[in-house]
Amino acid sequence: MHRRMLDPQLRRRAALIPPLPLKGDRGRRVVRALIRRWGPGRPVEGVTRTTLGDGLGLHVYTPDGGGSGAALLWVHGGGLIIGDALQDNAFCSLTARELGIVVVSVDYRLAPEHPFPAALDDIFAAWQWLQRSADSLGIDPRRIAVGGVSAGGGLAACLAQRLHDSCGVRPAAQWLFCPMLDDRTAARRELDRLRHRVWNNSMNRIGWHAYLGGEPGGPQTPEHAVAARRTDLRELPPAWIGVGDIDLFADEDREYARRLQDAGVHCTLELVPGAPHGFETWAARTPLARGYLGRARAWLGARLTEPASPIPGGP
């Protein structure tokens, strides 16, 4: 993908991002180690971070002086095969402080060592913990959103579907940044030639193959494994989906947003011109990213002022 297609604010930073060696086990181990060592940003002032060692891998960000009674369950990205909750330290703490909410970020098991449903099971367990701990955290269990970036956004969307089907308390909102929603994108070999910045289709195929345990794009996938494969999107939580228009996931994200809207689900889609994958993370200080994140947080804050509506037929 040619440099001139990028927004001018992003060109220099995008050129500094190296290709990731994800094909072999050794390459993935190296990338994971580098993320754990160099990826964590420092939490902002005015927020306390607590790490829970009870086997769930949770990091809890609490604004000083307490919160508003709302919360966000956050899921990190990494193509389902790399990544760590601590890489979003700055993002989660800033979101907690600006919105006055508790943010819980979850470390989930990664593929290929732990294929589906391991990651989704871990996130579901984190949701259950958050529901059980609502009183001690000062949270209304009906005012909890789910969100994530890239693979984490796809997992958050799958969690919303699973919670809908379990007829329990559903999330107040879905907050999805450049979500990885559809394995069928990885099967489109013509996309390999476009060489998308940051996350390309060859990487995408590696991630989906590791997670699904087979070639992506097949006729069927397990229930709740791939968000875009679900046929009935009715009664899912309100959603915000943000993605750059030159992101590999732009088409699948636009299509999922359209289908949510057609199903009667409130969905806001923000398409950012000239922005490749995850730009709000690696170019967070640019005016482009700051404006984008500000609008995203404003949407989430408005959604968390009221409890989620109950699932019809649920408790």
Contact 47, 35 (CB under 8 A): no
The one catalytic residue among 88, 150, 164, 182: 150
Active site residue 247: yes
Average pLDDT value for residue range 51-55: 73
pLDDT digit string, tens, across residues 173-196: 999 999 999 999 999 999 999 999
Residue 238 corresponds to which tokens in the numbers above?
A: 């309100």
Active site residue 182: no
Set out the domains of the chain in order of their start, with CATH numbers. Answer: 3-302 (3.40.50.1820)
pLDDT digit string, tens, across residues 237-270: 999 999 999 999 999 999 999 999 999 999 999 9
Sheet of strand 144-149: strand arrangement: 47-52, 58-63, 102-106, 71-75, 144-149, 174-177, 239-244, 267-272
Percentage, residues of the chain above pLDDT 90: 81
Query: Residue 283 above 50 pLDDT?
Result: yes
Active site residue 150: yes
Inter-helix orientation angle 151-166/118-132, to 10°: 60
pLDDT digit string, tens, across residues 85-117: 999 999 999 999 999 999 999 999 999 999 999
CA distance 167 to 172: 14
Contact 85, 157 (CB under 8 A): no
Average pLDDT value for residue range 269-284: 96
pTM of the model: 0.95
Query: Residue 315 above 50 pLDDT?
Result: no
Query: Residue 308 above 80 pLDDT?
Result: no
184-220: buried (b, 16+ CB within 10 Å) or exposed (e) per residue?
Answer: bbbbbeebeeeebbbbbbbbbbbbbbbbbeeebbeee
Mean pLDDT (the chain) is 93
The one catalytic residue among 7, 84, 247, 253: 247
pLDDT digit string, tens, across residues 56-85: 789 999 999 888 999 999 999 999 999 999
Given this model, what pLDDT does residue 204 score? 98
Query: Residue 39 above 70 pLDDT?
Result: no
Q: At a CB cut-off of 8 Å and minimum separation 6, what does 52 contact? A: 58, 59, 60
The one catalytic residue among 76, 164, 224, 277: 277
Given this model, what pLDDT does residue 218 score? 95
CA distance 65 to 46: 9
pLDDT digit string, tens, across residues 1-15: 678 899 999 999 999
Query: Residue 33 above 60 pLDDT?
Result: yes
